[in-house]
Amino acid sequence: MNGEKQRAVRIDRTGGPEVMQLADVRVGDPGPGEVRIRHHAIGLNFLDLYHRTGLIGLPLPAHLGMEGAGVIEAAGPGVTHLQAGDRAAYAGYPAGSYSDVRVMPAMNVCRLPDEIGFDTAAAMMLKGWTAYYLLHRCKPVEGLSAGDYVLFHAAAGGVGLITTQWAKARGLRLIGTAGTDEKCALALEHGASHAINYRREDFVARVREITGGKGVKVVYDGVGKDTFEPSLDCLAPFGLLVAFGDASGLAPPIVPIRLVEKGSIYITYQGLFHHIATRDSTQQMADALFDVVRRGVVKIPIGQRYALADVQQAHRDLAERRTTGCSILLP
């Protein structure tokens, strides 16, 4: 491309949505192990907000965005699984998907099946991979079987609606929480067995009621501070709390003896990027996600579409929980 200028969202400092600016950047040719991809759609995630605010730091100045889909324009030396002209999708570091075109490592970029559109792919990679590892790799010591109860916070969000469908397909009874009756209805439509409006109900009491006092085997918690402590009281003995995000702020520290007091329970905090640290693991997770989407087992709900130039408003809507399902940016 000889350094042709393209648009990309950049921050020179951390802060509110206003720190994001659309800038012209020069995009060259891919080096060894890299590809150049022209985006057709870009994913929007809470992780992007953490990068913008500095909760999870990036070296400044920084480009934002962790997920996208488009067409490979060029593949660098050593890249064997992709070539120019391939439809592709990805999630992963380094950040920079909020752009027209970018050069990036090829390891987490996967060839996209023809049956899956760019909008769907951009909305599902990071969130779908997250749903996969939560359900398939984060299991309680006693395992998960059809009929078991699990609790998922923010069940009407992008990860939530994907996980809810996938959990139903596995025969799990997922109890979802959300902040409005409309969002609760959405979770139920996507396969939740029960939905709890946490603004009107005590979700701990409701979980105990639904499970006959036994509690759930797993709590999946991407909310953090607001839900962490009461979630411990939702677990059955030997149950597992899987933290994977901090939408409401960082969860408080916990004294280990409390795990015994709560029933010899377990806690883990998981991050997607350890699960896609190799090409083989990345492709295995992509194959599983592509399969359930192609077969219609999991449908990717895109609730919002924004122009790339409207990225500030997109971040405001996501931070203020005005969105449902997945959101994407369109170059």
The CA-based dihedral angle spanning residues 91, 95, 101, 105, taken in that order and rounded to the nearest 10 degrees: -70
In the chain, % helix, strand, coil (3-state, to 5) comes to 30, 30, 40
Domain 139-269, CATH among 3.30.70.20, 3.40.50.720, 3.90.1010.10, 3.90.120.10: 3.40.50.720
What average pLDDT does this structure show over 266-288?
95
Domain range annotation of the chain: 4-127+273-330, 139-269
* 3-class secondary structure, 182: helix
Across all residues in the chain, what is the average pLDDT?
Answer: 94
What average pLDDT does this structure show over 84-100?
97
pLDDT of residue 127: 94
pTM (predicted TM-score): 0.90
- Please state the φ and ψ torsions of residue 132, each to the nearest 5 degrees: -65, -50
pLDDT confidence tier of residue 151, bands split at 50, 70 and 90: very high
d(CA 137, CA 31): 34
- What are the distances in angstroms from CA 107 to CA 35, 81, 84, 276, 281? 9, 9, 16, 9, 10
Q: Convert 228-251 to b/e letters by CB count within 10 Å (16 or more is b).
A: beebbbbbbeebbbbbbbbbbeeb
What average pLDDT does this structure show over 166-182?
96
Q: In CATH terms, is domain 4-127+273-330 a member of 3.90.180.10?
A: yes
Question: In the chain, pLDDT over 70 holds for what percent of residues?
Answer: 99
